Structures are given as C-alpha cells and as structure tokens.
Amino acid sequence: MANIMMLLDTSRCIACRACQVACKQWHSLPAEQTNFTGTYQNPPDLSGKNLTLIRFNEFLDKKGMPRWLFFIDRCRHCVTPRCKDACPDGVEITEEGFVVFNHEANPENCRIPMESACPYNIPRFNEDLDQYVKCDFCFDRFKPSAKPITMKNGGKPTTACELACPVGAIFTGDYRTVLGEAVNRLNELRSTYPNANIYFGGYGGIGHVIWLLAEEPTKYNLGTI
C-alpha cells in the first residue's frame, strides 16, 4: 500500500460541515446538543463525538470588511506522533502512515490523558466508549476488503469526509499525487491570495495531512509546531 496523504484545501471550504456529519456516520458517533454562543462554529470544539471540526476564524481585511477563514481541524497523522510516546502499545502507525488508536492492544491504558500528549490537543475522551478517540484517516476504507460504495470515481479508496465534500476541499491519495495537487492549487490561488501557502502542521516533519491556506497561518490561530 502506498504512502497516503491528505490535502485539506481551506480555500475551497464553504463550511457546509458535510465532512463532520459523514465522519460521525462512518464512526457511528451520535449527535451532540449544543448552544449558540455567537459563532457559527458548531460544535464549539472537537469532542469524543466529533473527530473533525470546521473552525471559523474571523478577521478584518484591508478594507475593514469582516471575513471568515475556515480551518478544517483534525489529527495531523504526524510522522513522529507524540501520542505514541504517551501510549506506545495503544497507538499504531499503519503501512500507509495513518496514526490509529488500537484500544484492543492496550485496553488497560485507554485512559492515559492523551489531550496533553498531543501538541495539537486532538484526542478527546468518549465517555460512552470509555476511551480516547480521534480521526483515524478512515483506515479501514483503505483495506483490500473495502466495499466499492466507500470509494470515489469508481474505485479510488477514500475517506468518508472526502467522499462527502461537495467542493473537493478534501483530497487524498499517494503522497506524490497529493503534494503535486497542493502545489498546483497553490499556484492558482496565489493569483487571488498572494499570501497563500501550504501548511505542514504535523509534529516531527511533514505529516500525512497538509493544508492549503489562503492567508498566513497566524490568521487561522495556528502555531509553528
């Protein structure tokens, strides 16, 4: 199996949140009751029932007009995952490079505080499952046993969120293909957004998830780790 990567193109994202719903559906996670707090970001944060989240970042442009920048937040699938340092037996790296929690391998340690182990505060505790959860790159959809209904364009294995996204903001594939797609989209985007950039957010080097941003990372409240 190839080294798989995911491009999250925030410039295309329209914050429809179909990805959030598709992720819940694939992982059999229930809805959550939330309250309006003055932002359309909903739910307010990642949780044990929400493995991916569209973050709404507001800022004023040069003309003083308010703008939204959407950030598609989820596990970075780092090349050197700090979560694995915290729980070596319970965190696996698949041959595709996905970082997956394997609670069966280490059930007694399922309550290790993983939020603090991850530099990006990604894993969250699911009370119903009594374990930490996070985006698993839909690793089971990349297995040879995956059903055609989970695939895109008549046969490309893909994640539930990529299949659901109506604007092609999520793009997975062999890492060379994904990096090439990212560079092509960046060159196109820079004609409109001169500060556009590719954000490699994973810990320890280029991870298996990268982002295309229309503005500099600080406008998305992203750090430099």
Q: Which chain residues interact with ligand SF4 by CB under 6 A?
A: 13-19, 22-23, 26, 51-52, 54, 72, 74-78, 81-83, 99, 118, 120, 122-123, 134-138, 159-161, 164-165, 167, 169-170, 203
Residue nearer to ligand SF4 on the CB measure, 169 or 222: 169
46-69 burial by CB neighbour count: b if 16+ within 10 A, else e?
bbbbbbbbbbebeeeeeeeeeeeb
- Asked if residues 52 and 217 have their Cβ atoms less than 8 Å apart, the reply is no
Residue nearer to ligand SF4 on the CB measure, 63 or 149: 149
Look up residue 55 and give its amino acid. R
Cβ 112 to ligand SF4 shortest distance, Å: 12
CB-based burial of residue 205 (10 Å sphere; 0-12 exposed, 13-18 middle, 19+ buried)?
exposed
> Residue 219 — φ and ψ, nearest 5°?
-70, -15
Cβ 21 to ligand SF4 shortest distance, Å: 8
Q: At a CB cut-off of 8 Å and minimum separation 6, what does 58 contact?
A: 66, 67, 68, 69
Cβ 49 to ligand SF4 shortest distance, Å: 12
Residue nearer to ligand SF4 on the CB measure, 150 or 197: 150
Residue nearer to ligand SF4 on the CB measure, 96 or 218: 96
Cβ 219 to ligand SF4 shortest distance, Å: 17
Cβ 64 to ligand SF4 shortest distance, Å: 26
- Asked if residues 93 and 79 have their Cβ atoms less than 8 Å apart, the reply is no
Cβ 65 to ligand SF4 shortest distance, Å: 22
Residue nearer to ligand SF4 on the CB measure, 140 or 180: 140
Structure token pair of residue 53: 């989240």
- Asked if residues 98 and 89 have their Cβ atoms less than 8 Å apart, the reply is no
Residue nearer to ligand SF4 on the CB measure, 64 or 103: 103
Count of CB atoms situated within 10 Å of the CB of 165: 22
